[in-house]
Amino acid sequence: MASTVIVVSSDGENEPAANSIVGIYPALANNAQSVLDAYTAAMPKIDLSALMPAFDIASLMPKIDTSALSAIANVQSILPKIDTLVPSLNISGVMPKFDYAPLMQQTGIAEILRAQESLLAGLPDYSGILSGIRTDWFEALEPQIDFTATLQPILEMFRSLDWDSITRPLRVPDNWPDDIHENLPELVDMVNRDGIPAAWVPRSEVLTLLLDASAGDERSEVLIRHRDEILDDCTEWLEDLADPVLDPILSIAREVLGACRNGFWKVGAISAVQVVHSIVESLHWVSDRQRVAKHHILTMETPYARMLEQATRAPLVLFYDDWNPLSGKPRPAHLTRHVVSHRLGEDQVNERNCIVAVMLMASLIVTVYQLDLGHKEIAA
């Protein structure tokens, strides 16, 4: 799986990663033809037929399976054109990394690429023929083109595209269901009030059950009932993850998951709490109780560009809650790093809190990887 305001700014079989990417295709398809039409109309037309030497091309071409050509033309021909026209964009920190293998399998593009490679492998070497063309013939053809005027229709066309709708599916975790827009208030409530992670884990089906449940005990019951699936999701994300910034803690995180798999959930949860705090400290994120809400809370006004990171941060508000028995306030029932580290008791490592601790660890690690947050800290 290592390789995907509020939306309002996987599942267990690993297919939602593909679904997130597929969401951008309809928007591109709706605009691709008009972009190409503008490009064609803008470019000068030059007749090179009189300059080209005569070749018997038919004798040089191999026999080609036209069905393969048709598939390549229909599906792939647009991609290099879009590639050459779309300007380079720095989207680090906004767009998560994705494993495109499931998408290739789902859309059949893998077969098309294999057919294309096979086709190209069968072509003869034309280098000798091309070297015989006199390049000085083209010197007199330098057209006097005002490229500003020529490219203006294309630039206007790209400005008219709704890039926000095209890229929006790439800016949320891939375990979020398609109807997440309708359940954003529930998601905001869950990560802020219950401190339950929602980014990357749990899988879409379990997340939907959590969003449909009432806050508090009912959501806790969903977590406990689906504990094994949640552990599988965390394990699947972390088992093949590789990142220089995260390497020092990845092996520990995997041992945490191993301990839980062997039934030692309390030991795993206590260790997961330390892993989370270590990552937060290394990122220089706020961890004191007075400022955590301001920096980490998720709201309905969170922009898309911050959605993924903020959804990961939100459970940290409760995680960094503190408590002093002399304060007269009741002891926190939710998972808190302060109580686990300084006043540990059975209530802090109950079934519900152990699951939350492991989920928070996995969610944070995957987001740090997806958005290259650790590399940003190193660069700074």
Q: Are residues 194 and 46 in the same domain?
A: no
Q: What is the pLDDT of residues 306-328, one digit of tens each?
A: 989 999 999 999 999 999 999 99
- Band the pLDDT of 156: cuts 50, 70, 90: confident
Q: Answer whether residue 155 is part of any domain.
A: yes
| Average pLDDT over every residue of 84-96 | 54
Predicted local confidence at residue 244, as pLDDT: 87
Q: Which residue has the higher pLDDT, 28 or 275?
A: 275
How many distinct helices (H) and strands (E) make up the chain? 22, 0
Q: Answer whether residue 309 is part of any domain.
A: yes
Q: Are residues 145 and 206 in the same domain?
A: no
Predicted local confidence at residue 374, as pLDDT: 84
Q: What is the pLDDT of residues 353-362, one digit of tens each?
A: 999 999 999 9
Q: Are residues 242 and 354 in the same domain?
A: yes
Predicted local confidence at residue 54, as pLDDT: 53
- Band the pLDDT of 305: cuts 50, 70, 90: confident
Determine what percent of the chain is predicted with pLDDT higher than 90: 49
Q: Are residues 353 and 246 in the same domain?
A: yes
Q: Which residue has the higher pLDDT, 71 or 132?
A: 132
State which of 140, 170, 200 marks the end of a domain: 170
Number of compact structural domains in the chain: 2
Q: Are residues 94 and 189 in the same domain?
A: no
Q: Are residues 81 and 225 in the same domain?
A: no
Q: Which residue has the higher pLDDT, 41 or 267?
A: 267
Give yes or no for residue 155 having a pLDDT over 60: yes
CA angle (109, 115, 119) in 5-degree steps: 145
Q: Answer whether residue 260 is part of any domain.
A: yes
Q: What is the pLDDT of residues 195-227, one digit of tens each?
A: 999 999 999 999 999 999 999 999 999 999 999
Q: Are residues 257 and 278 in the same domain?
A: yes
Q: Answer whether residue 1 is part of any domain.
A: no
Q: Are residues 123 and 188 in the same domain?
A: no
| Average pLDDT over every residue of 92-107 | 56
Give yes or no for residue 187 having a pLDDT over 80: yes
Q: Answer whether residue 9 is part of any domain.
A: no
Mean pLDDT computed over every residue of the chain: 76
Long-range contacts, stretch 194-197, CB < 8 angstroms, 24+ apart: 194/219, 194/318, 194/334, 195/315, 195/317, 195/318, 195/319, 195/334, 195/335, 195/356, 196/223, 196/315, 196/356, 196/359, 197/312, 197/315, 197/356, 197/359, 197/360, 197/362, 197/363, 197/364
Q: Answer whether residue 2 is part of any domain.
A: no
Q: Are residues 138 and 195 in the same domain?
A: no
State which of 151, 170, 189 marks the end of a domain: 170
Burial class (CB in 10 A: 0-12, 13-18, 19+), 276: buried
Q: Are residues 147 and 210 in the same domain?
A: no
Q: Which residue has the higher pLDDT, 100 or 284?
A: 284
Q: Are residues 110 and 164 in the same domain?
A: yes
State which of 136, 170, 204 marks the end of a domain: 170
**DSSP code string of 130-189:** HTTS-GGGGGGG-----HHHHHHHHHHHHHHS-HHHHHGGGGS-TTS-TTGGGGHHHHHH
Q: Which residue has the higher pLDDT, 305 or 206?
A: 206
Task: Write out the residue range of the structural domain in which residue 34 sits.
Answer: 16-170
Q: Are residues 262 and 166 in the same domain?
A: no
Q: Answer whether residue 226 is part of any domain.
A: yes
Q: Answer whether residue 204 is part of any domain.
A: yes
Long-range contacts, stretch 210-218, CB < 8 angstroms, 24+ apart: 211/183, 211/186, 211/187, 212/186, 215/189, 215/190
